[in-house]
Amino acid sequence: MSEPSEAESWALGEPPRAHLRGALPNYSRAELRERAEALDVHPIVVELMVGRGIEELDEQRRFLAPRLRELSPPATMAGFAEAVDLLVTARARGWRVGMFGDYDVDGVTTTTILTTFLECVGVEVVAKVASRAGGYGFGLAPAKALHEAGVDLVLTGDCGTSDHEALAWLRQRDVPTVVIDHHQVPETMPPASALLNPHQAGCAFPFKGLCSAGVGFYLAAGMRSAIAKAEPSSRANLPDPRAWLDLVALGTVCDMMPLRGDNRVLVRHGLETMGQRKRPGVRELLRRARVGPEHAVDEGHLGFMLGPRLNAPGRLGSAEPSLELLRSRSGAEAEALAAKVEMFNSQRRSLQDRIVAEALDQLGEDPRTPRRSGIVVAHDNWAPGIVGIAAAGIVERYGRPTLVIGVDPGSGEARGSARTSAGVDVRAALAECADLLRRYGGHKAAAGVSMDAANIPALTERFDQACAAQLGEEVGRDPIDVHDGELALEDIDLELIGAIESLGPFGVGFERPRYLCAGAQVVRVRVLKERHLALTLRQGRDQRDAIAFRKAEFGVERGDSIGCLFTPSRNSYGGRDRPQLIIDRLWRVRGS
């Protein structure tokens, strides 16, 4: 007999297996209130920090007020001094500097940060980014193109660590290179003049979670310090690297880096910088995403609105339109380029919706899907540039790490992308399947594979087992859902939501809160766009609005008693703020 799907489990009244997050059960309510008074914060702020392993008073104080001066010193980064020296030399000797970035948001923001900073200090640059057709990484073709453009120094952003052929080709022609990257380092070091990658052996930089945009920011700051030291009279006229923190935040959030340590500092201040809307390209992106000046910019806007738009050109072809948009210098220029990016985004959205719908149909037909700890789904002709964002859609639906694979039926070549959930290191999970793959890479939150399509059935089982081992789950059983405790509807108000928002940014490594509602009555229900459920829930005399995305297939009716896992949120539609529950998991309370 097959196991029920999530929608069927709803009908049977089956709640998920769930437990409290982290160390929270070890603290009494009185202890949490006492700490909240010491920090002068709402008690829920302390609960959320403790649940995520932030328990010491001093650590909590730093977490609540992250400061740029607390960033790790860049001088401890291997290759940093050599990279700064090359950039200072380029400026002093009038070199033309070429830069090549990857086609995703991290590559584009890294390229924008360094090329525009270099231009501000008087360096001539040639800025290029990858095309999907050219494949991942810094290949021989872009290396030759930069050489033909007459560059004297080449930088790579979010690529280069494994691109030995192109770097060696430039070295043979006496062109020095600086690699700015954060991907895993192979056993053989790249033949670069300087490698800036916190993951390389012998790098004493303590924080290993930077994306390439973060590494690029450190390099720009180091160059400014070196120039100011050598030319004290020029200090007042040098650009302030903090003006580029909006792009650092964009790269960090969109590349799904852990929002702890240095990244939390960079993203918190980067969101404040972005909120000033001084960069024409970013300002136009926010406008098109309908994030008006009256709205504070948060990590959700970056991850779900700006990031998909900037990624779209590179998913379908060349990322040049996104680079040009971020490098634009006027509102008129930005408006025209944003329209072009928006066109690519519409095409991307259409392809993504089709892939996600086909994947969900395929997974829904497999009775084992709800019991998997890691999900693999594959199909012929799914666009390789879209499978990653489609994987994020599957993660949203099932709450499990997911690998989505597109197969070329002619060659049998399969290429896929994985996205994480529940804290699983998807790159490590893929490493457990390495014998089934031709190539894999990435980081904890997102990774990619290429493989023979014939190995997909074996990979499906092995990836499931590898994720289950990390989660401490038994393969074939209901996955364990983690939450932050039970929260009554009467306690959900704008003050509580504001307290939760004060802890942002949320993301990988510092998950957005999720609470348990053990039981509530449905007093109103509507289906939106044939996909989503808009509900009004009641406990006693208290009612709250809720929305459950992509759960229209659940047979929820007025009068039903339900339980759910949800995130409290602020609904500002119509210019009036009100509380709203974003429902993640939903089940019928037995007996209703």
Helix axes 105-120, 245-254, angle to 10 degrees: 170
Looking at residue 305, the DSSP 8-state letter turns out to be I
Rg (CA), the chain: 25
pLDDT exceeds cutoff 70 at 174: yes
Q: 518: closest CA among 592, 587, 591?
A: 587
Provide the pLDDT confidence category of residue 229 given band limits of 50, 70 and 90.
very high
Is 544:532 a contact under the CB 8 Å cutoff? no
Do 317 and 218 sit in the same domain of this protein?
Answer: yes
Q: What pLDDT is attached to residue 2?
A: 41
pLDDT tens digits along 319-346: 999 999 999 999 999 999 999 999 999 9
Is 351 inside a domain boundary?
no
pLDDT tens digits along 466-520: 999 998 876 666 666 789 989 999 999 999 999 999 999 999 889 999 999 999 9
Domain count, the chain: 3
Q: What pLDDT is attached to residue 572?
A: 84
Last residue of a domain, one of 481, 511, 533: 481
Q: Give the CATH number for residue 528.
A: 2.40.50.460
pLDDT tens digits along 273-282: 999 999 999 9
Q: Can you tell me the mean pLDDT for 68-75?
A: 95
Is 399:512 a contact under the CB 8 Å cutoff? no
Do 384 and 264 sit in the same domain of this protein?
Answer: no
Rounded CA separation 249/220 (Å): 15
Do 445 and 312 sit in the same domain of this protein?
Answer: no
pLDDT tens digits along 480-495: 678 998 999 999 999 9
Average model confidence (pLDDT) for the chain? Answer: 92
Residue 119: helix, strand or coil by DSSP?
Answer: helix
Q: Is the model more confident about 33 or about 11?
A: 33
Q: Give the CATH number for residue 146.
A: 3.90.1640.30
Q: Can you tell me the mean pLDDT for 112-141?
A: 93
pLDDT tens digits along 537-573: 999 999 999 999 888 888 899 999 999 999 999 998 7
Identify any residues that bridge with 505 across adjacent strands, giving them in sequence order. Answer: none
Rounded CA separation 264/492 (Å): 26
HSE-CB of 484 using CA atoms within 13 angstroms: 23
HSE-CB of 560 using CA atoms within 13 angstroms: 21
Q: What is the pTM of this model?
A: 0.90
Per-residue DSSP letters for 505-534?
PPBTTBPPP-EEEEEEEEEEEEEETTTEEE
Is 554 inside a domain boundary?
yes
Do 280 and 417 sit in the same domain of this protein?
Answer: no
Strands 124-129 and 515-528: unpaired
Is 535 inside a domain boundary?
yes
Domain of residue 181, residue span: 74-341
Is 465 inside a domain boundary?
yes
Rounded CA separation 111/105 (Å): 10
Do 375 and 248 sit in the same domain of this protein?
Answer: no
Is 42 inside a domain boundary?
no
Do 174 and 313 sit in the same domain of this protein?
Answer: yes
Do 257 and 370 sit in the same domain of this protein?
Answer: no
pLDDT exceeds cutoff 60 at 3: no
Q: What pLDDT is attached to residue 132?
A: 82
Q: Give the CATH number for residue 379.
A: 3.10.310.30
Strands 446-452 and 153-157: unpaired
Do 148 and 247 sit in the same domain of this protein?
Answer: yes
pLDDT exceeds cutoff 50 at 216: yes
Q: Can you tell me the mean pLDDT for 199-208?
A: 96
Is 51 inside a domain boundary?
no
Do 193 and 91 sit in the same domain of this protein?
Answer: yes
Q: Is the model more confident about 475 or about 124?
A: 124
Last residue of a domain, one of 341, 376, 392: 341
Do 477 and 489 sit in the same domain of this protein?
Answer: no
Is 548 inside a domain boundary?
yes
Do 537 and 549 sit in the same domain of this protein?
Answer: yes
Do 372 and 228 sit in the same domain of this protein?
Answer: no
Is 12 inside a domain boundary?
yes
